Amino acid sequence: MKHLLLALVMSSFCLAQENPPAAASTEKAKQELLDTIFSSLSNQEFEKAIAKAIETNVHPQVILEARFLHLVDQGDNQALAKFSAELLPWREKFDPDASEIFGVKEDWLSVVHYTQALAALENNQQAEFKKHITEAFWLSPKHAQIYAPPIERLRLQKAMAKVTLKPDFVLQPQDGSKPITLGSLMKHKKALLLHFWSPMSQEVQINMPDFAATSAECQEHGIAVASVLIGHRPEIKKDADEIRKEVQDTAKCAWIAGSNKNSLATQLRIVDVPTMVLVSPDGKILFNGHPSQETFWQELKKLAPELHRPNNTEHKHADD
């Protein structure tokens, strides 16, 4: 998911007008620094660039703008929720002439409300979340692609709270062997990780080695893994078999065929791939979402504190 949200923001937010340089060398250095802090950087690189920006007296509002975009790029909603406290004092102090990315005040206020909405979500204040996310949409409707995911996640969380998977639920292995049950996969395990995928997704194909490494790490620490194919048409199964064979020596999981009746995908509201679903031994849903989400790894660490995120799990999109 890296870079996607940043691209959405940068493609829709208006870049502030540039002023003619007074001193070419100084202005060039300043512009290079601004380009750096608004680039996609690691946390360590970003903090170094921000420190330098503060030293060179870059406008505080610009620093806030850069921090906002960096957190969006990182997909760190928890940090964005905390960041709302820093943005609130600037709610009415927005200066369009100082801004590097916001063309009008409404866009700035929209961002403030968005972070407030995330803060409300962190505190399980659903009425406050709805109020602030609605205001964010109203102020800047062109950013719907950024503001919609938290709403979708909230609805998914509420739906998953009502789901309990039965241990006698029957699964058909992808290789056509004897059917198995969810209960048999989870026996004597801390949890079951379900990986929903399809060979039709380029992102899935790119990141299959990433999944294989994750599955091996989970199995080593007492978490069962099952990879569930989405789709049951013959051509999909054929392509899936080819992909499965490429990682079968490294992936430690049960390979499950898709179904068109009473499927796990339907029960778990799977609308995109890849999706990870973490299931407790009693069938409760601990996580349902994209494998790049930090919450996913936090939930895994709760189950197995010694578990380490494999080095190659920097999840990549096909368009990165």
pLDDT at 223 over 90: yes
User: What is 170-303's CATH superfamily?
Assistant: Glutaredoxin (3.40.30.10)
pLDDT of residue 295: 87
Q: How many residues does the chain have?
A: 320
pLDDT at 4 over 50: no
pLDDT of residue 61: 96
Angle (nearest 5°) at CA 271 between 199 and 179: 60
Tokens found for residue 258: 């898709």
pLDDT of residue 74: 83
d(CA 281, CA 290) in angstroms, rounded, equals: 21
- The tens digit of pLDDT for each residue in 31-80 reads 888 999 998 888 899 999 999 999 999 999 999 999 999 998 887 888 99
pLDDT at 102 over 50: yes
List all residues 6 or more positions away from 263 whose beta carbon is below 8 Å from its beta carbon: none
Sign of the alpha-carbon dihedral angle for 281, 285, 291, 292: negative
pLDDT at 257 over 80: yes
- Residue reference for tokens 């499927």: 263
DSSP class of 124: T
Could you give the C-alpha distances from 291 to 190, 203, 270, in angstroms and in order? 19, 12, 13
d(CA 121, CA 118) in angstroms, rounded, equals: 5
Cβ-based burial of 34 (10 A; exposed 0-12, middle 13-18, buried ≥19):
middle
pLDDT band at 10 (very low <50, low <70, confident <90, very high): very low
pLDDT of residue 24: 55
Lowest mean pLDDT among 95-99, 205-209, 316-320: 316-320
d(CA 240, CA 78) in angstroms, rounded, equals: 36
d(CA 113, CA 108) in angstroms, rounded, equals: 9
pLDDT of residue 29: 77
Lowest mean pLDDT among 39-53, 279-293, 306-320: 306-320
pLDDT at 256 over 80: yes
Residues 277 and 194 sit within 8 Å (Cβ to Cβ): yes
pLDDT of residue 115: 97
**Phi-psi domain of 283 (left: phi exceeds 0; alpha: psi -120 through 50; beta: other):** left
- The tens digit of pLDDT for each residue in 174-201 reads 988 999 999 999 999 999 999 999 999 9
State the average pLDDT over residues 242-253: 93
Q: What is the residue type of 12? A: S
pLDDT of residue 25: 61
- The tens digit of pLDDT for each residue in 133-171 reads 999 999 999 999 889 989 998 999 999 999 999 999 999
pLDDT of residue 316: 52
d(CA 59, CA 63) in angstroms, rounded, equals: 7
pTM equals 0.73
d(CA 215, CA 272) in angstroms, rounded, equals: 20
